[in-house]
Amino acid sequence: MERPQQTDSRAGLISGLSAYFMWGLFPIYFVATKAVPATEILAHRILWSLPFGLLILLFRRQIGDTIRAIRHPKTLALLALASVALAANWGVYIYAIQIEQIFQGSLGYYINPLIYVLVAVLFFGERLTRLQSGAIALAFVGVMVLTVYGGQFPVISLFLAASFTTYGVLRKLIDVGAMPGLFIEVLVLILPAIAYLVWLSHADILVFGTETRLNWLLIASGPITVLPLLAFAFAARRIRLSTLGILQFVGPTMQFLCGVYYGEPFTKAHAICFSLIWIGVAFFVLDGWRASRRASAP
């Protein structure tokens, strides 16, 4: 008979895999909505996340937590800054998929954890292990190979990594749950999003309303945004942080496979760059596993 803790851990692992699996399939959604400009998709993603997020808050009884966070000026200010970083990350990622740069999107989320570690060293006084240093060095060499040998500076990849790291650092400074925090961030962005959609409507260039299939796809951006985060929040409470650190590479790996499926050009420079990144990821995962073993040792 399984212990409750084992059952809880298994549920957390399944939930974490589900979250990163859903994030990994994002390119399919954004390819399906390619007829809609990236900025309009971003506005709809913000708009439809609000009511769906509210339902989740009601279900999880987190309305009180959300109100307390809104009433705290410093928390609200940091969440407002985080919302800008998140919206920029969302918008650039949608744009990347639409211009057939799925590999760059995947690369950005591969190197994001490495940049996060580098920020922790530079600004939070943490020390790099040898494996972490090797992983960051390999990522740097990989980016240089793609830039010099491949003739393509991965500006999209670096922006995605930097913006999501900024978002992560800001959220680290805020004592608020994942779902209440996301709801407040969406709340901050909702007025600009609605204003933009109204302007598109008056300019007669709003795609929403022109085709039933696209309408439903745009409405679906709400649950598509919120559900992975809900699964992630569930997992984060039930499995080790080191396990989550390993799972985070499931998303960019699936995005990479989506790029292969859609037939994006994969040059020799891409192959060298990704090979170096994958070795760096292996170093990163090994370091996390070692740290977990040391932490659990009696």
pLDDT (tens digit, 9 = 90+) per residue, 63-93?
A: 999 999 999 999 999 999 999 999 999 999 9
> Six-digit token pair at 42?
């971003």
| 125 or 260, greater pLDDT | 260
Task: Tell whether the model's pLDDT for residue 42 goes beyond 90.
Answer: yes
- Rounded Cα gap, residues 19 and 229, in angstroms: 7
| 196 or 153, greater pLDDT | 196
Residue 25, burial from CB neighbour count under 10 angstroms (0-12, 13-18, 19+): middle
* Per-chain mean pLDDT for the chain: 86
Q: What percent of the chain has pLDDT over 90?
A: 47
Region for residue 267 given its phi and psi (left: phi exceeds 0; alpha: psi -120 to 50; beta: otherwise): beta
**pLDDT given at position 1:** 46
**pLDDT given at position 114:** 81
**pLDDT given at position 280:** 87
> Six-digit token pair at 23?
């994030």
- Rounded Cα gap, residues 132 and 70, in angstroms: 37
> Six-digit token pair at 67?
């109100």
Q: How many CA atoms lie within 13 A of 212 on its CB side?
A: 0
| Signed CA dihedral, 256, 257, 258, 264: sign only | positive
- Rounded Cα gap, residues 268 and 282, in angstroms: 21
> Six-digit token pair at 5?
């803790």
pTM of the model: 0.87
What 30-35 contacts at long range (C-beta under 8 Å, 24+ apart), as own/partner pairs, is: 30/93, 30/94, 30/97, 30/98, 31/97, 31/262, 32/217, 33/214, 33/217, 33/218, 34/97, 34/98, 35/207, 35/214
Residue 138 contacts residue 274 (beta carbons within 8 Å)? no
| 1 or 244, greater pLDDT | 244
**pLDDT given at position 254:** 92
**pLDDT given at position 226:** 87
pLDDT digits 0-9 by tens, 141-182: 988 888 887 788 889 999 999 998 888 888 888 888 888 988
pLDDT digits 0-9 by tens, 88-116: 999 999 999 999 999 999 999 888 888 87
Angle between helices 221-236 and 178-202 (to 10 degrees): 170
